């Protein structure tokens, strides 16, 4: 991959350059010292991946991410001195389309780089996602005993946090519904994502634990690097298989388990995201009588996942996020 580096600290930029150049089939295509320069360079020479710092003069990394995804969209990985210390900005950047975040490796006095393993692993994962997101032709829009609660299941990836907040905030609080969210996010950031969503929606949002059963009023977020599934007994469980699926947690794996084991139809939503995860699982739910909604292209940060679902005939409706709550409520008794 052609990888760009955005960082105003010379030592940090050099550490990133050394990590990239140590990886086979990857090279640095350009370096920017702040967000303004990064936006301009991305428009002139769009890379496959940008390693984006957060705290920079003039334009910070979150705002630079927003501008780049609006004008020259590409994969963006936040690389900052301390992810935990900048968690609000991290989720702002992810809401605008950044895929993930990792701490910046450190360049030692002898030229050695420490803390490079986590970054190298993230780059490897994103390279697989980019490879799985090759363009496809524009699709045609698809045609449109009581076991509480009803389920709303949501899958999301690139740009998902903001779309999730915009979806959840207007939904009724007083209905017999549990919400389960599969967002492509590293295990280290799942608790922060749950808190970020709670702060922006006014709801209680928590990371799902192994053995949890979706209950009335729950908003549960998948929270490990394994896949989350709904088991035959109605509990949520984490499992490593299928290992060959590199989107973790996988929307397809979860949606298909719901189609197999949940005894009552509900609503499934597939939001903005890179790749094709979720299309197969959403189709399985539609065939079981679920109402399925895919995000439209104009409001998606990256339209690959919803587009794949539409192409597969998995979506009953294609809507902007702002119209989804009104479309969801009648199907769940709200």
Q: Per-residue pLDDT tens for 254-306?
A: 999 999 999 889 999 999 999 999 999 999 999 999 999 999 999 999 999 99
Least Cα distance to 80 among 132, 158, 143, 7 occurs for 7
Lowest mean pLDDT among 29-43, 155-169, 183-197: 183-197
Mean pLDDT of the chain: 90
What pLDDT, on a 0 to 100 scale, did the predictor assign at position 86? Answer: 87
pLDDT band at 134 (very low <50, low <70, confident <90, very high): low
For the segment 237-241, the average pLDDT, to the nearest whole number, is 95
What pLDDT, on a 0 to 100 scale, did the predictor assign at position 32? Answer: 95
Residue 66 pLDDT exceeds 60: yes
Residue 107 to residues 23, 56, 83, 161, 262, Cα–Cα distance (Å): 17, 19, 18, 32, 51
pLDDT band at 138 (very low <50, low <70, confident <90, very high): very low
What pLDDT, on a 0 to 100 scale, did the predictor assign at position 148? Answer: 53
Residue 240 pLDDT exceeds 90: yes
What percent of the chain shows pLDDT beyond 90? 72
Residue 137 pLDDT exceeds 90: no
Q: 2-131 sits in which CATH class?
A: alpha beta
Threshold 0.95, pTM exceeds = no
Residue 110 pLDDT exceeds 80: no
Residue 282 tokens, joined: 């959403």
What pLDDT, on a 0 to 100 scale, did the predictor assign at position 70? Answer: 87
For the segment 204-216, the average pLDDT, to the nearest whole number, is 91
pLDDT band at 186 (very low <50, low <70, confident <90, very high): confident
What pLDDT, on a 0 to 100 scale, did the predictor assign at position 169? Answer: 94
What pLDDT, on a 0 to 100 scale, did the predictor assign at position 217? Answer: 85
What pLDDT, on a 0 to 100 scale, did the predictor assign at position 334? Answer: 54
| Cβ-proximal residues to 101 (8 Å cutoff; 6+ apart), any chain | 77, 78, 79, 80, 83, 90, 93, 94, 186, 189
**Domain edges within the chain:** 2-131, 150-331
- Would you identify the CATH topology of the domain 150-331? Rossmann fold (3.40.50)
Residue 136 pLDDT exceeds 50: no
Are 2-131 and 150-331 equal in CATH topology?
yes
Residue 315 pLDDT exceeds 90: yes
Active site residues: 157, 184, 277
Residue 3 pLDDT exceeds 90: yes
300 within 8 A of 159, measured Cβ to Cβ: yes
């Amino acid at each position: 991959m052609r990888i760009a580096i955005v960082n105003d600290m010379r030592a940090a930029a050099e550490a990133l350059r050394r990590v990239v150049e140590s990886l086979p089939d990857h090279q640095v295509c350009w370096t920017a010292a702040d967000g303004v320069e990064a936006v301009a360079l991305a428009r002139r020479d769009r890379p496959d991946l940008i390693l984006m710092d957060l705290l920079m003069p003039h334009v910070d990394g979150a705002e630079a991410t927003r501008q780049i995804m609006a004008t020259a969209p590409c994969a963006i990985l936040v690389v900052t001195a301390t992810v935990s210390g900048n968690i609000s900005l991290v989720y702002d950047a992810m809401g605008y389309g950044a895929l993930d975040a990792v701490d910046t490796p450190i360049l030692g006095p002898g030229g050695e780089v420490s803390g490079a393993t986590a970054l190298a692993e993230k780059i490897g994962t994103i390279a697989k996602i980019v490879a799985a997101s090759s363009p496809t032709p524009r699709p045609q829009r698809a045609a449109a005993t009581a076991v509480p609660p009803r389920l709303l299941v949501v899958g999301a990836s690139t740009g998902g946090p903001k779309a999730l907040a915009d979806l959840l905030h207007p939904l009724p609080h007083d209905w017999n519904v549990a919400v389960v969210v599969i967002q492509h996010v590293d295990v280290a950031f799942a608790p922060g994502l749950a808190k970020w969503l709670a702060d922006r929606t006014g709801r209680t949002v928590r990371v799902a634990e192994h053995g949890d059963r979706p209950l009335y009023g729950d908003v549960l977020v998948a929270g490990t690097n394994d896949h989350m599934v709904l088991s035959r007994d109605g509990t949520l469980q984490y499992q490593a298989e299928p290992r060959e699926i590199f989107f973790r947690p996988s929307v397809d794996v979860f949606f298909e388990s719901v189609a197999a084991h949940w005894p009552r139809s509900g609503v499934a939503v597939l939001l903005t995201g890179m790749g094709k995860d979720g299309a197969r699982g959403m189709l399985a739910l539609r065939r079981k009588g679920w109402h399925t909604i895919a995000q439209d292209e104009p409001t998606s940060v990256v339209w690959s996942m919803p587009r794949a679902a539409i192409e597969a005939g998995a979506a009953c409706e294609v809507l902007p996020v702002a119209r989804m709550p009104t479309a969801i409520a009648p199907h769940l008794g709200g």
